[in-house]
A and B are shown apart, each in its own frame.
Chain A
């Protein structure tokens, strides 16, 4: 088929819903020319997926700095437990008492740091940004299936953020029972001040957040299933899209369960039910609650909690696959195996949750079933890792900032994944559980890795988002400082963890055994503060480049995917004319016989006769 008479099926696909709306007579403001849109609907309540993506990105960055500030505060406490902290009084006010950080506020800091990073930054900031930005652009759609719900998704997230933010300034402090909010600690205000209004606001905020996730998720899934352009079969989707798609499915299945758990906890806290509470004595007095089961909460929580860690990491995996292939100028190694392993990880992620609960006194047989299933996850994870390495192998590597972060991701993911295999063994976990070993594990494999994936994405798609380039030199500095600091922080934590140092402790000075780690803790804190300051380089680069960066070209990285066929700054609807149809998979890099080292997805085989493989000849 010649290129000129390609049916513009993609465009039809996009218009069809509109036709439908006409038929139903629905009033639809998308029909107004976007030039005379009110600024409120253009910049604030925008329904354009690209703008919503930027809203998610910028809120995500703001939350990341808040989350990092909190961690810097508690690292100061851990690194210098005997120091006089009165100099922090201007920021922390009455939480500094006679030069000492309030111990309960320390727990609140840890809790809010975890909550903010896991949910607001690495879920909303990461998926929210890149699923929104890339799904319509890469599948060839004019926008998401429902722009309105997509907009609501952002504003529910925003509202969740406001509630969480206000809770930071409560008289009794924000929630303090850990990001996993285990009852009874989280259920009883008598147990810790943070379990008063702070915990209530945490739960309200999280309920809003779940609504936001569901609204976004159904849109992502529907867009991928329904609105792909002509020729874009599922087997031609970039791996980014596969990962966002599966991430959204995980969210759709697991967030409602967290909602249920949160609702039951709310009833226990405020309506006198006893789902999770039983036989509790406070100050010698028995509470009214009988017959509940705190372990039940853990089951419900981790049924979400474990898929959640994959909700965090899978988008990063997709981004990394894309960035690695583009900058190694090689097809991704094992495209189908990459999809298969993503699907495998997604399925397995629902049947391993109890590996967080080995020490809850569960039946050892049940424990070994969960151990077995948990260890199987190492298989698809290893498939991905080897494929990334094989993609790099003998590639024509361009060390862009995005590429550095993508390689950094692989490194961190391996380092953190290996300790997962240790923790997955119930017998070893009994020793390691609740120590800094776990903290080290998930900060490498999830925290740092996902951040690196996110950075790779921002550096890579910045030109498409803002029409300008980020500064590469600053990008290098940012990368090297960050990866160095990440390892300097988390490698020593394995060591203190093996020695038994428990997580969520305010100070170890009271314990003779742990005193020897004083210097190590100071060292970790110094590295953490270094990591924190390195992020300002990124912030500067990001803000500066939006306004002053070098102007981008249409396809600065020589990529094959559809987003680079749009104008430098795509308007509402993404493509000014018809949506390009797709003929080939997204990884035709350095194809032998081709004049250039990449062939975009929308180029038909009839135009690439010199490089077509035997079986592609038929498609000319």
Chain B
């Protein structure tokens, strides 16, 4: 961790900055919500009467997109440490755009599912509904991530992000990696348990 991301002059307690710590706690609570959904999925699946859904190919493409966006996010962070602010901006924009592409891609997956006769509601089998819920709830998190990215970008415009002030972009990077990792988990989960 970069020194400007921690608290100095601290006697007791841990050195993490409170805002960083709050971020971790929020990530934990989000994780619990997803853990609830996926365990509900497993429990329900164990009870039988389960529809076997073929996951659309484009899900794989989306996974690659979101992982790629983690790389660009990390690059933005890397350049911030080297005070190359214009590159930080470029990579934040690229990350943002990849996030949007991911969302559009997920939407596309939904329309493919509908074409496959896998529906969300209307007497549908929960096997399909669960996929929509997992993707939708993750999508809502991505939207939060996009807002976070936009705010971070705004801070680069005001020169509030540089090698001695890494907290905001550090938090944004952690959150974005979390979203990518979360999707990877959900994708693998669905692959293994559909």
Contacts and interface: CB of A to CB of B under 8 A. Distances in A.
Interface of A: 7, 9-10, 12-13, 15-17, 20, 23-26, 145-146, 149, 214, 217-219, 221-223, 225-233, 252-257, 259-261, 263-264, 267, 271-275, 288-293, 296, 299-300, 303, 581
B11 A267 contact: no
**Chain B interface residue bracket vs A:** 35 or more
Nearest to A236: B12
Given A23-B165, A225-B21, A296-B44, A13 B32 contact: no
A253 B29 contact: yes
Nearest to A289: B123
Contact of B17 (A20, A264, A274, A296): A20
Given A257-B32, A272-B121, A272-B122, A296 B40 contact: yes
Interface stretch (B72-80, B124-132, B180-188): B124-132
Among B8, B129, B159, B160, chain A packs the most CB atoms within 10 A around the CB of: B129
B43 A9 contact: no
B141 interface: no
Given A267-B121, A275-B129, A291 B49 contact: yes
Nearest to A224: B13
Interface of B: 4, 7-14, 16-19, 21-22, 25-26, 28-30, 32-33, 35-37, 40, 43-44, 47, 49-50, 120-126, 129-130, 133, 137, 155, 158-161, 164-165, 167-168
B40 A16 contact: no
Given A219-B22, A257-B36, A13 B122 contact: no
9 contacts: A16-B10, A145-B21, A229-B11, A257-B33, A260-B40, A272-B120, A274-B123, A292-B126, A300-B36
B28 A226 contact: no
A613 B25 CA distance: 40
Contacts of B14: 225-226
Contacts of A17: 7, 17-19
Contacts of B44: 275, 292-293, 296
A273 B12 contact: no
B77 to A, nearest CB: 15
Contacts of A275: 40, 44, 126, 129-130
A145 B10 contact: no
Contacts of B123: 272, 274, 288-290
Given A214-B29, A256-B36, 15 more contacts: A24-B168, A145-B19, A149-B22, A222-B25, A223-B18, A230-B11, A230-B12, A256-B29, A264-B133, A272-B120, A272-B121, A273-B126, A288-B123, A290-B125, A581-B11
Contact of A288 (B4, B19, B40, B122): B122
A225 B32 CA distance: 21
Contacts of B13: 13, 225-228
A223 B35 CA distance: 26
What 7 pairs between A and B have smallest CB-CB spacing? A272-B121, A9-B11, A12-B9, A260-B36, A145-B18, A256-B33, A288-B123
B160 A273 contact: no
Contact of A274 (B8, B33, B36, B124): B124
Nearest to B168: A24
B40 to A, nearest CB: 6
Contact of A253 (B9, B28, B168): B28
B126 to A, nearest CB: 5
A16 B124 contact: no
A344 B29 CA distance: 21
A260 B32 CA distance: 9
Given A267-B129, A272-B122, A273-B124, A229 B29 contact: no
A10 B130 CA distance: 49
Contacts of A20: 7, 17, 167
Contacts of A271: 120-121
B25 A13 contact: no
Contacts of A10: 11
A583 to B, nearest CB: 12
Contacts of A233: 12
Contacts of A9: 9-12
A292 B130 CA distance: 11
A260 B44 CA distance: 15
B193 to A, nearest CB: 15
A255 B165 contact: no
Nearest to A11: B9
B26 to A, nearest CB: 6
Contacts of B8: 16
Nearest to B15: A226
A276 to B, nearest CB: 9
Contact of B160 (A26, A214, A228, A232): A26
B11 A273 contact: no
Contacts of A257: 32-33, 35-36
Among B13, B120, B125, B161, chain A packs the most CB atoms within 10 A around the CB of: B13
A533 B140 CA distance: 48
A24 B4 CA distance: 10
A288 B124 CA distance: 9
A272 B161 CA distance: 47
A254 B126 CA distance: 24
B11 A261 contact: no
A24 B155 contact: yes
A261 B30 CA distance: 14
A254 B32 CA distance: 7
Contacts of B129: 267, 273-275
Contacts of B4: 23
A296 B43 contact: yes
A23 B18 contact: no
A81 B36 CA distance: 43
Contacts of A292: 44, 126
Nearest to A232: B12
B158 A252 contact: no
A252 B21 contact: no
B125 A23 contact: no
